Amino acid sequence: MAKLRVPSWLSSERNGSTANMDVDKKRLNRRSFPGLATTRSKEESLQKKEEEQSEVSKVESPESRMLVLAETIRVETERLQTYLQSNGIAQPSLSVDGPDDFPLLPDEIQQSRQKIVLATKELTNLVRGPRESVRYDVWSYLDTLSLQLINSYQIAKLVPLDAPIKLTELQSKTPLEPVNLARALRHAMTNNIFCEPSPGLIAHTANSRILAQDTSLQAWIGFNSEDIFPAAGHVMQALKSHPEATSITHTGFNFAFSTVGEEPMFVTLGKDPVRARRFANAMLSFTNGEGYEVSYFVDNYDLSDVNERGGTFVDVGGSHGFVSVEMAKKWKNMKFIVQDLPKMISSAPQPICEDATVAERISLQVHDFFTEQPAKGADVYYFRWIFHNYSQPYAVKILKSLIPALKPGARVVINDYCIRDPGSENPWDEKLMRSMDMIMGTLFNAQEREEREFCELFKAADHRFDFKGVYRVESCKMSVIEAVWNENGVEAQVDECKE
Ligand SMILES: C[S@@+](CC[C@H](N)C(=O)[O-])C[C@H]1O[C@@H](n2cnc3c(N)ncnc32)[C@H](O)[C@@H]1O
């Protein structure tokens, strides 16, 4: 049997694991903006491989692996519990009044959480065994299905927060036929969404209660289960008919919603204000998730020179402008333009923000980013969660459409994932990023990109884009990828984008 390697992030030896983590952290947060850091070199990758090889010597026999994992779970749970207790933070609980989220935690405590989740998952896999694990992993879509029914029929809002409700009474409040309501609820209960304290009585858990209260979360579940889930079921069909998989109108989404060869997903959503609003709110929920907070960008991206000269920041594909609102609060001398498709712009809140001194510096503009950029001579063109929606031909077109508007020194800033080498991300984030990559393929035939791919993208659009590199703030999952417009740029060298 092949031997299992113990990854350094899972080791329960405190000093060893912390030391490894520090090394990893330093390595992974290396940035390639001039003056801030240097690009990860081949030698460093090799060195990492060697370090990993040496981990093989710490191989555990399959019999003891369960105990290693159990010990990791015990040690890390104790660490998390102690931290919460000594800081007066409520302990996690599934009961209806359990806390909604963890507060911002120090890095090492956050890593404890990650280790617990990942060790628990591996231990579950080991204890179930390979055949049973794989056999039933494929049923994970049923978790989405039961959640879709509950969310779509707004069942969580029908269950009182303070007392259980009889299933029969709940049935009378929904158009869902009793068998289907009971089956969706009882399936969701296997995921701790609702509980049945005694037969026929339905009550909230913390999970179902948050679903009843959080409208952005409802939108997130709605978008994922009603737009992405059907699209995922049509990916095979899309790939079989268009194996090259670059067209944005021949995707799983297009096959699911009968728009093949007609229009991309955003146009479809844009035609329906309810769906457009749900998408915007879903993005808000996602953005508020751990490691995606807009504050990482707002707090760390330096615009003091632009602010000093009262410059302009264009948020291209900026949805309802929530990034610009936060930026305008910080940079009080700057102007902001939020651009998006007509339906998105018309459904944006008016005023965009309560504070008039912020709102008056933000304008909304209808603009299709595949056409010539109308905001000429701005200082920054910012794209958040845009480029990962597009395969290379489209992404190049978006950049080319900017060129007539660019003044020398204009910054083009992409705020997206930047994928690292397989296995170099912590597994928690790796799963998230790989999942997002799958979703991008499903909806757009698009992809998440590595640093080299971003560099190649800019160079493919125009050699005058001076690629500055990738910057990622500690604990943030998103990277800032930047290029500066250089009128006198020289023809790109073939090797320029290689690691
Ligand atoms: C994934 S969302 C990102 C929104 C926002 N930047 C954020 O960070 O949440 C993509 C946005 O691009 C907009 N969009 C899609 N196609 C567009 C186009 N051709 N021109 C302008 N905006 C577009 C969508 O309406 C949506 O608001």
Is 52's pLDDT higher than 50?
A: no
Integer Cα distance of 340 and 448 in angstroms: 21
193: which residues sit within 8 A by CB, 6+ positions away? Answer: 146, 147, 150, 205, 207, 208, 211
C-alpha of residue 496 to centroid of ligand 1, in Å: 30
Judged against a pLDDT cut of 60, whether residue 113 lies above it is answered with yes
Digit-coded pLDDT (tens) for 292-340: 989 999 999 999 999 999 999 999 999 999 999 999 999 999 999 999 9
**Torsions phi, psi for 400 (to 5 deg):** -65, -35
pLDDT one-digit tens code per residue, 202-231 = 999 999 999 999 999 999 999 999 999 999
Distance 330 CA to ligand 1 centre (A): 23
Does 44 have pLDDT greater than 60? Answer: no
Q: Please state the ipTM of this predicted complex.
A: 0.99
Task: Tell me what the mean pLDDT of segment 354-359 comes to.
Answer: 94
pLDDT single digits (tens) 257-276? 999 999 999 899 989 999 98
Please, which residues bridge with residue 383 across strands? 316, 414
Q: Is the CB of 384 under 6 A from ligand 1?
A: yes
- Taking the C-alpha atoms of residue 194 and residue 205, their distance in angstroms, rounded to an integer, is 5
DSSP labels for 47-106?
A: HHHHHHHHHGGGPBPHHHHHHHHHHHHHHHHHHHHHHHHHTTPPPP--STTS-SS-----
d(CA 368, ligand 1 centre) in Å: 9
Indicate if ligand 1 lies below 6 Å from the C-beta of 385: yes
Q: Distance, CA 101 to ligand 1 centroid (Å)?
A: 28
> To test the ligand 1 pocket, which listed residue (266, 275, 295) has its Cβ within 8 A of the most ligand atoms?
266
With pLDDT > 90 as the criterion, what percentage of the chain qualifies? Answer: 76
Give the three-state DSSP class for 433.
Answer: helix
Nearest to 400 by CA among 444, 369, 366: 369
Note the Cα 2 to chain centre separation in Å: 34
Q: Report phi then psi at 165, rounded to 5.
A: -125, 145
Which pLDDT does position 232 carry in this prediction?
98
Compute the distance between CA of residue 415 and CA of residue 342 in angstroms, rounded to an integer.
23
Q: What is the pLDDT of residue 221?
A: 97
Identify residue 498 by its one-letter amino acid code. Answer: K
- Give how far the C-alpha of residue 163 lies from the chain's centroid of Cα atoms, to the nearest Å: 35
Q: What is the pLDDT of residue 290?
A: 81
Nearest Cα neighbor of 418 from 447, 398, 444 is 447
What dihedral angle (degrees, nearest 10) is formed by the CA atoms of 310, 315, 318, 321?
A: -10
pLDDT at 427: 86
From CA 272, how far away is CA 218, in angstroms rounded? Answer: 18
d(CA 282, CA 385): 13
Mean pLDDT of the chain: 88
Number of Cβ within a 10 Å radius of residue 232? 19
Query: By three-state DSSP, how is residue 151 classified?
Result: helix
Query: Is residue 24 over pLDDT 60?
Result: no
Question: 167-204: per-residue pLDDT in tens?
Answer: 999 999 999 999 999 999 999 999 999 999 999 999 99
Assess contact for 121 and 72: CB atoms under 8 A: no
Q: Which of 18-22, 35-39, 295-299 has the highest mean pLDDT?
A: 295-299
Look at residue 37 in the predicted model and tell me its pLDDT.
32
Choosing from 250, 320, 388, 463, the catalytic residue is 388
Domain borders along the chain are 65-134, 140-213, 216-288, 294-485
Position 424 scores a pLDDT of: 87
Q: What is the reported pLDDT for 28?
A: 39
Ligand 1 and 278: CB distance under 6 A: no
Stated as kind and residue range, the H or E segment containing 411 is strand 411-416
Over 90: is that where the pLDDT of 26 sits?
no
Residue 63: predicted pLDDT: 62
**How many whole angstroms separate alpha carbon 464 and alpha carbon 94?**
55
Q: Report which residue type is found at 99.
A: P
Coarse DSSP helix, strand, coil percentages of the chain, rounded to the nearest 5 percent: 55, 10, 35
Q: What is the pLDDT of residue 489?
A: 74
Each residue's pLDDT tens digit, 63-73? 699 999 999 99
For residue 61, what pLDDT is reported? Answer: 60
- Predicted confidence (pLDDT) per residue in 418-465, tens digit: 999 988 888 888 999 999 999 999 999 999 999 999 999 999 999 999
pLDDT at 27 over 60: no
Task: Considering only residues 318 and 40, tell me which one the structure prediction assigns the higher pLDDT.
Answer: 318
The response to whether residue 284 sits with its C-beta less than 6 Å from ligand 1 reads no
Residue owning the nearest CA to atom 9 of ligand 1: 283
Residue-level pLDDT at 25: 44
Show the tokens assigned to 84.
């919460």
- Give the atom of ligand 1 at the shortest distance from the alpha carbon of 315: 6
Among 255, 258, 229, smallest CA distance to 242 is for 255
Residue 94 CB contacts under 8 Å (≥ 6 apart), including other chains: 192, 205, 206, 207
Residue 104's pLDDT band (cuts 50, 70, 90): confident
Name the pLDDT band for 381 (thresholds 50, 70, 90): very high
Residue to probe by mutation, ligand 1, list 319, 327, 417, most atoms within 8 Å of CB = 319
Q: What is the pLDDT of residues 137-150, one digit of tens each?
A: 999 999 999 999 99
Measure 319 CA to ligand 1 centroid, in angstroms: 6
Please say if 388 is a catalytic residue.
yes
Extract the tokens encoding 89: 């933070």
Using DSSP, state whether 290 is helix, strand or coil. Answer: coil
CATH number of the structural domain 140-213:
1.10.10.10
Cβ of 386 less than 6 Å from ligand 1: yes
Residue nearest to atom 24 of ligand 1 (CA): 317
- Listing from the earlier edge strand, what are the strands of the sheet with 380-384? 362-366, 335-340, 312-316, 380-384, 411-416, 479-485, 465-471
The burial of 98, by beta-carbon neighbours within 10 Å (0-12 exposed, 13-18 middle, 19 or more buried), is given as: middle
- Is residue 154 pLDDT above 60, yes or no? yes
Ligand 1 center–CA 371 separation, angstroms = 14
Q: Please tell me if the CB atom of residue 497 comes closer than 6 angstroms to any atom of ligand 1.
A: no
Judge if the beta carbon of residue 436 lies within 6 A of ligand 1: no
CATH level 3 topology of 294-485: Rossmann fold (3.40.50)
Q: Determine the Cα–Cα distance for residues 363 and 354; give it in Å rounded to an integer.
A: 14
pLDDT score for 11: 39
Task: Give the model confidence (pLDDT) of 383-424 as tens digits.
Answer: 999 999 999 999 999 999 999 999 999 999 999 999 999 888
Q: Are strands 449-450 and 479-485 parallel, antiparallel or unpaired?
A: unpaired
* Of 48 and 463, more confident: 463
pTM for the full model? 0.81
